[in-house]
Amino acid sequence: MKYKRLGRTDITVSEICLGTMTWGTQNTEAEAHEQMDHAFDQGVNFFDTAELYPTTPVSIETYGRTEEIIGTWLRKSGKRKDIVLASKIAGSGRPHIRGGRDISAATIREALDASLRRLQTDYLDLYQIHWPNRGTYHFRNLWAFDAFTQGRQKAAAEIAEILETLGELVKAGKIRAVGLSNESAWGTLKYLRLSEERGLPRVASIQNEYSLLYRQFDTDLAEVAHHENVGLMAYSPLAAGILTGKYRNGARPAGSRATINTDLGGRLQPMQEPAVEAYAKVAERHGLDMAQMALAFSLSRPFMASVIIGATSMAQLKTDIGATEVRLSEDVMKDIAGVYRQYPMTL
Nearest CA among 197, 189, 198 for reference residue 230: 189
DSSP 250-297: G---TTSGGGTSTTTTTTSSGGGHHHHHHHHHHHHHTT--HHHHHHHH
Active site includes 53?
A: yes
Give dist(CA 259, CA 250) in Å, integer: 12
Residues 48/234, Cβ–Cβ less than 8 Å: no
| Cβ contact 299:15 at 8 Å | yes
Phi then psi dihedrals of residue 8, to 5 deg: -105, 20
How far is CA 307 from each of CA 28, 73, 97, 162, rounded to the nearest angstrom? 23, 22, 27, 26
71: amino acid identity, one letter: G
What's the rounded Cα separation, in Å, for the pair 218 and 279? 18
Of the residues 3, 53, 123, 127, only one is catalytic, namely: 53
Strands 16-19 and 12-14, sheet pairing: unpaired
**Amino acid in position 11:** I
Put residue 252 in one of left, alpha, beta given phi > 0 → left and psi -120 to 50 → alpha: beta
The residues carrying an active-site annotation are: 53
